[in-house]
Chain A
C-alpha cells in the first residue's frame, strides 16, 4: 500500500484540526486516524502525519514513542492485549497470557508467522471488576476470561469475526431486581 493520505483523509484531518486552537493538538487524533487506515504508524506514516499538520517529524516521532497504543511497526492483524496488572494479576491474568502464548506458539511482544496475531502483556485497562480480561486491537474488551473463552475468541478471529461489545449489567441493579 502506498503510504499517503487521499482527498477524503485530508478533509477528515481538516475536521479534526477545527476542534483545536493549534495544529499540534491534532497530532494524537490524526495518528489514531492514520493507524486506523494503515494498521500502524511507522516512520513513513509519521512523515505524512507531520506533513499534513506542518509539524517536525521529530515531534510526531516523540508522540508515537510516548504512547503505548500507537504501533510504530506492523503488527498482527489482531493484537491481543492481555491485562496482567493488579486485579487481573491476582485473578489469573498471567494464566490467560501463558495459555494464549502456548496456544499461538509465540511470546508476549511477538507476532505469529502468518501475521494473524500479536500478543502483548499490558497495564491496567480499567476492567478490574471483570478480570481477567483482554482487549482486541485497541477496540473490544473481552471480559471474565477462561481458557474456553480464549479458544472461542481465537476461533472466531480466525474467521475474521470481531467479538461484539459486551455490556455488563451493574450488579447493584441486578440485586434490586431480585
Chain B
C-alpha cells in the first residue's frame, strides 16, 4: 500500500453535513443504486446478477468472520413462495468495536439502501435489524431513517412501483454479547434466551422461524450500493487484493486521536497508529496491538513491521482482521491485568450451554486472577494453555475459541512477563 491513503475520500462515512436526512442523502446520489436495480430488474440487474456482482466484487463480511458476501447470498435456496428473511447484524458487542453505530448516526440510509438491494437479490420480504440494546440512541436514529424511507416509498408495499414488497423492522437486544453470533441472534429474534444453534442446518436452509435467512453485518450491507453504482471491478481494485474495499477502522486505546476512520483495507498498522490516529499518547512506545476486537490474537510491537490490515497479512503474522477494531497498548500496559479483564468478559458472556465454555471461561478467569494477584505458579501458565486446547473447537459456537485465543496468544507472546509475575516454585523447572 502506497501513501495514497492521504487522498482517500470516505464513501461509507463521507464528510457531508446532515447526510442522515433522506433529502440530503438523495441529493448526494442516495437511493440511485436501488432505483437503477429496480428499473433494470428484468435484464441488467436480475436478482442473480446482483448477487454475482457482489460476489465478484470480493466484498467480505465486516462483522468478524470475513466470508465472501455474495457467496453467502447465493446459499439461499430457490424461493418456494414462503417468507424469507435478512437479519442485519448490528449487535456490535465485540470489545474494541464501535463502527456500525457511526453508520446509524451519520449515514443510515446507505445501510437501508444496501439492505433493500440485498433483500431484492435474495427475494426477501422482511429485513430485521438486530441492534444491541445499549445503542438506544442509535436505534432511535435508525428508526427515524426507516420511517423516512417508508414515506418515500423505498420500503413497504410495491417499492418504487416495482410490485415488490420489502419491510424493515428494528429489534433491540438487551445486553448479551453472544447475540452477535448469527444463530444466537436468530434465537433472540424469536424471543428466546440467546443460545446458539447447532449447525447444520445453516441459516439459509433453516433460519428465523424455520425459514431461509441470511445474516449480514451493517457495514457489509452498506457497501452494496457502491458495488452496484461503480461495479465489481472498481470495488475490487480498492485496498488489499484478496480482501478489498473500504473499511471502518475503529482505533482505541493509547492513541492521541482515537475514533473510527474509513480507509481502504490493507492499511499499514503503523501508519494507522502514528499518522491516522496521531501516535501513541504521551509520546510513549507501542507495546502491543489487538487488531480486530478482543478475540483476535494480540501482536507484539516487534511483529508489526510491514503488517497491513487485511486478512492475509494478519493471518501471516498470527492474528486476524476481525472487526478492524484496533486497540493500541502502550509500553506501560500491565499485560496480565489486561488479559485477566478479557477473560472476565468471556466468562460473563458465555451462554452456559456447552460445558467446555461455561466451565472453561470460569477457570481462565480464576487462574488469571490468581496470577494477577501474585499467587500464580509457572505451571498455572501451562494449565491455562492446556485449558485453551480443551475449549477450542469443542463447542456449539465460536465463543469458546474467542475466549481461548487471547489467553493462548497473550501467554505465548508475553511469556516472560507472566513468568515474572509467578511465584518461584519447584514446578518452575519441571
A residues sitting closer than 8 Å to B (CB atoms) are 19-29, 31-32, 59, 62-63, 66-70, 84-87, 89-91, 123-131, 135, 138-141, 165, 167-168, 170-173, 176-177
Closest 6 pairs (CB-CB, A-B): A67-B174, A68-B175, A86-B95, A128-B252, A69-B175, A124-B95
For B345, the chain A residues whose CB sits under 8 A away are 85-86, 123-124
Q: List B323-377 residues whose CB lies under 8 Å from chain A.
A: 325, 327, 329, 333, 337-338, 341-342, 345, 348-349, 351
> Considering the chains assembled together, what is the distance between the CA atoms of A86 and B406 in angstroms?
12
Nearest A residue to B105, CB-CB = A167
Question: B190 in the interface, Cβ–Cβ < 8 Å?
Answer: yes
Q: Do B338 and A90 touch (CB < 8 A)?
A: yes
Given A28-B191, A86-B327, A128-B95, is A91 in contact with B174 using a C-beta cutoff of 8 Å? no
Do A141 and B327 form a contact, CB below 8 Å, given A85-B341, A131-B252? no
Contact string, B144-155, partner A, CB cutoff 8 A, digits 1/0?
A: 000000000000
A21-B83, A87-B252, A131-B252 in contact; A123/B95 too (CB < 8 A)?
A: yes
Task: Verify B173–A22 contact, CB threshold 8 A.
Answer: no
Instruction: Point out the residues of chain B lying under 8 angstroms from A70, CB to CB.
Output: 174-175
Q: A87-B95, A87-B327, A126-B134 are in contact. Are A171 and B259 (CB under 8 A)?
A: yes
B-side binding surface: helix, strand, loop or mixed? mixed
- B134 near A125: Cβ-Cβ < 8 Å: yes
For residue A23, which residues in chain B have a CB less than 8 angstroms away from its CB? 191
B residues in contact (CB < 8 Å) with A: 10, 13, 15, 83, 92-98, 101-102, 105-106, 132-137, 169, 171-177, 188-194, 209, 250-254, 257-262, 294, 325, 327, 329, 333, 337-338, 341-342, 345, 348-349, 351
Contact A138 B134, beta carbon cutoff 8 Å: yes
Q: How far is the CB of B415 from chain A (nearest CB, A)?
A: 21
Are B98 and A66 touching (Cβ within 8 A)?
Answer: no
Docked complex Cα distance between A20 and B193 (Å): 17
**B172:A123 contact, CB within 8 angstroms:** no
Contact A123 B348 (CB under 8 A): yes
* A31 CB contact (under 8 Å) in B174, B257, B341: B174
Answer whether A86 and B342 are a contact pair too, CB < 8 Å, given A66-B194, A128-B325, A138-B136: yes
With A32-B174, A69-B133, A135-B134 as known contacts, state yes or no: A129 contacts B252, CB within 8 Å.
Answer: yes
CA distance A141 to B134 in the complex (A): 9
Determine which of B137, B172, B325 lies in contact with A141 in the assembled complex, contact meaning CB atoms within 8 Å. B137
**List of A residues within 8 angstroms of B338 by Cβ:** 89-90
Decide if B98 touches A126 in the complex (CB within 8 Å). yes
Contacts of A26 in B (CB 8 A): 191
Q: Tell me, in angstroms, the Cα distance from A111 to B75 when the chains sit together.
A: 50
Please state if A139 and B136 are interface contacts (CB–CB under 8 Å): yes
Given A32-B133, A85-B345, is A128 in contact with B262 using a C-beta cutoff of 8 Å?
no
Q: Which chain A residue has the least Cβ–Cβ distance from B137?
A: A165
Contacts A131-B252, A168-B259, A172-B260 supplied; 17 other A-B pairs, CB < 8 Å = A28-B174, A31-B174, A67-B174, A86-B95, A90-B338, A91-B253, A123-B177, A123-B345, A124-B94, A124-B96, A126-B92, A129-B98, A129-B250, A138-B134, A172-B262, A176-B15, A177-B15
State the CA gap A171–B177 with chains docked (Å).
Answer: 27
Q: Smallest CB–CB gap between B176 and chain A, Å?
A: 5
Q: Tell me the smallest distance from the CB of B315 to a CB of chain A, in Å.
A: 22
